[in-house]
Structure 1
Amino acid sequence: MQRVEIQKNDDKWKKGQKRRADILNAAMNILAHDGYGELTMRRIAKDTGISLGHLQYHFPNKKSIIHKLLKEYLDQAMQKIQERSSCKENSPEDQLETALNVSFAEQHSKEACQIIYELWALSTRDREAAEALKSFYEQYCTIVAGFLQHMNPSLCKETVQKRSALIVAMLEGLSLYHLWENSTLPSMTDLEGEFKQVVKSFMLSS
């Protein structure tokens, strides 16, 4: 599970930034292990080791924490995908496989999957959360579209967009299989290998 990173400002660590990062990491841990229902201001303050008033100084309410947490989590997830799949020395096929492997690695983390499930549920009742997820998946589709365009330049823009959206949807849907242990379904290793082959065939077909 990724953690909220502390950002530097003029080469100096700021105490306030560290405290906010600690708060967000505590909230993320609660969300991953106990779910949204247990995510209260008092619980976050307790797990961070600060008073409720101190917490409210940084974040006035739970909604403000959730929105910041969502933005930080999705921004870092997108940055990880972009950084690890953008090596210009690699072919588009290799870049695509790297991007898929990054996503698979996240899906092997139960905590990371739980956070995504909670964020999906939250987006059904919170407009700002829904917009953040929409922006994330639009960026994700754009990255996949870039791979697809390089691998199969004969495809028109509309087809590229449709296939990219389908690939991202299938990839995210694959994370649901981590909910079921000891099932009769194929292993995740087998599914991931087959998924790569399906995606490559899908991308190269006319």
Structure 2
Amino acid sequence: MSTDPIKAAPLRPGTYARGAETVDLILKAALEVLLEEGASGFSLRRIAAKCGMKVGNLSYHFPRKEALIQLLLEELLESYGRLLDRTVRETDLTSEERLRAVIDICLVDIQSRRTTHLFTELWALANHNAFIADRVEAFYRSVQDIIGEYVGELNPALNAEEVQIVALYISASMEGTTPFLGHNKPWHAQMGQIRNLSSKTLVHLAKTVTPSDIRGPEEPVQLKPRPRKGESARRT
């Protein structure tokens, strides 16, 4: 059981109606501060000012900014889950179509202002905060689990570890588009073509990659050099 006070806290503070409304207000303000002012401006004091509260009142619900990041990511993941339920899981699609849909949803989302700015700022915060780095990693692992579910169905020759590697590769390939094709980024207008290429190549990879492709070539045998003529084979 975790002893971290943030990890051990309830998923969402504010169990009564007014408290829940306050939490919603704080979360909205926190997201706006992170998007508008970046990692350097993300503080409880700045968030409190944004939503017209005293820092002490905000701290009652969120004693540390890390707790805000945790809840923002958990609720974002839940929203993605609801989207997948509507568009992927509860529809009559094949595993290939489901994976293709997940890839397309992720790439479309990357182009939104919220996602482009939110995750680049979270990466910056994660560079200096181990807890936030852990929460961002957990978020991406959840996304990779979703991808891995369909990879495993498409390619039963892969074991669980190999499925995870392929899912990681697909996830990394998509996230890597953020600084190039995200909101207002230099190649934003080319995302349509990149989506087409990603849908074709990443799904094909998931279907056809083999365990030996993942392992790569076997390590060459290291042969001991033969002694030169006149040199004793036995060295002291």
- In the other structure, the counterpart of 1:118 is 121
Which TM-score applies when normalising by structure 2? 0.72
CA distance in 2, matches of 1:55, 1:156: 47
* Contact 1:84 1:99 survives alignment (8 Å): no
Among residues 80, 96, 118, which one is paired with 2:99 in the alignment? Answer: 96
Instruction: Number of aligned residue pairs: give it.
Output: 198
CA distance in 2, matches of 1:50, 1:75: 27
CA distance in 2, matches of 1:82, 1:128: 29
More helix by share: 1
> Is the counterpart of residue 191 in structure 1 residue 194 in structure 2?
yes
CA distance in 2, matches of 1:58, 1:8: 7
- In the other structure, the counterpart of 2:175 is 172
Q: Which has the larger radius of gyration?
A: 2
CA distance in 2, matches of 1:81, 1:197: 20
Runs of 4+ in 1 over 6 A off after TM superposition: 6-9
CA distance in 1, matches of 2:185, 2:120: 20
Letter in 2 for 1:103: C
Question: What 5-or-longer segments of structure 1 have no aligned partner?
Answer: 1-5
Letter in 2 for 1:87: E
> Is the counterpart of residue 33 in structure 1 residue 33 in structure 2?
no
Trace 1:1-206 onto structure 2 (pairs within 5 A): 14-81=17-84, 84-87=87-90, 89-178=92-181, 183=186, 187-205=190-208, 206=210
* Contact 1:87 1:95 survives alignment (8 Å): no
**Cα separation, partners in 2 of 1:182 and 1:176, compared to 1, 3 Å:** closer
**Identical columns (%):** 24
Q: Secondary structure of 2:177's partner?
A: helix
Q: Secondary structure of 2:63's partner?
A: coil
CA distance in 2, matches of 1:66, 1:52: 17
**Cα separation, partners in 2 of 1:136 and 1:56, compared to 1, 3 Å:** closer
Which TM-score applies when normalising by structure 1? 0.82
Question: What 5-or-longer segments of structure 2 have no aligned partner?
Answer: 1-11, 211-236
CA distance in 1, matches of 2:71, 2:206: 35
CA distance in 2, matches of 1:87, 1:31: 34
